[in-house]
Amino acid sequence: KEERLMQSEKLSTAGQLAAGIAHEIRNPLTAINGFIKLLRTSERKNDNYFSIIESELKRIEFIVNELLVLSKPQGSHTSKPIDLLPLLEQVITFMNGEAALKNIEILPPYLEQSIWIHGEANQMKQVFINLLKNAIEAMNSSGVIRIHARPFDNEVRISVQDEGCGMTQEQINALGKPFYTTKETGTGLGFMIMHNIVHNHGGSITIESTPQQGTTFTVTFPIIATEE
Ligand code: ADP
Ligand code: MG
């Protein structure tokens, strides 16, 4: 079963996002505040308190870093023609280490021609990094992640297929809500960020998923040129 995401409805309005950020950052702030008070009043220095403060600060830093990706300039001035295959190969190389730790193999796409799309290369990389990261995190042991890229008329469809835990319809519906995560240390921002980037590049994302079997995310972009 395939689910096409409704861009405007599901995706974060500014207010929803602000509420989410406020909530996510307030929790670690409250904790930091509390432990600093404890340290101030306690006789001896407690290393445990310091580690909690450190990890809560890291969490805030992590959230802020993810959010910064969203605020990066996405004007036409940074947009250029991008050759898709080398970009995908760079991303695969970048993610191979994390995959290898779990004995996961990432299979690159086989393309007979080069495909050019228009966009901001760093943001485009971010899309595939987030997709691969989620694919790796969804698999708890060895397996294969397959990337396919195929031109269809004046569009290219790039899919990332994993053998992971899959998603229920309910989970698919919740995707795109800022801070929706099922992971203990997840931020729930990855999908929202990539969806934003894809949307800004005139593309779309579809999801096919079967619980316990795996998930395929497919992103579609307009092609500006192909070359034999
Ligand atoms: P995070 O990875 O920090 O949890 P994301 O926005 O990247 O945030 O993903 C949100 C949620 O969507 C994940 O917590 C997970 O439940 C689900 N998800 C995303 N990608 C996959 C996938 N490939 N397989 C299974 N579930 C996924
Ligand atoms: Mg993620």
Max mean pLDDT range (35-49, 171-185, 211-225) = 211-225
Question: pLDDT exceeding 90 applies to what percent of the chain?
Answer: 51
ipTM, interface predicted TM-score of the complex: 0.99
Q: Atom of ligand 1 at shortest distance to CA of 166?
A: 25
User: Which DSSP string corresponds to the chain?
Assistant: -EEE--HHHHS--HHHHHHHHHHHHHHHHHHHHHHHHHHHH-SS--HHHHHHHHHHHHHHHHHHHHHHHHHS--SGGG-EEEEHHHHHHHHHHHHHHHHHHTTEEEEPP--SSEEEEEE-HHHHHHHHHHHHHHHHHH--SSEEEEEEEEEETTEEEEEEE--S----HHHHHHTTSTT---STT--S-HHHHHHHHHHHTT-EEEEEEETTTEEEEEEEEEEEEEE-
HSE-up of residue 195 (Cα within 13 Å, Cβ side):
22
Per-residue pLDDT tens digits for 46-78: 888 899 899 899 888 888 877 776 666 555 567
Q: What's the pLDDT at 221?
A: 96
The pLDDT mean for the chain works out to 86
Q: What are 158's strand-pairing partners?
A: 149, 219
Nearest residue CA, atom 18 of ligand 1? 134
The whole-number average pLDDT for the span 169-183 is: 89
Residues with CB under 6 A from ligand 1: 130, 134-135, 138, 162, 164-167, 171, 175, 180-183, 186-191, 215
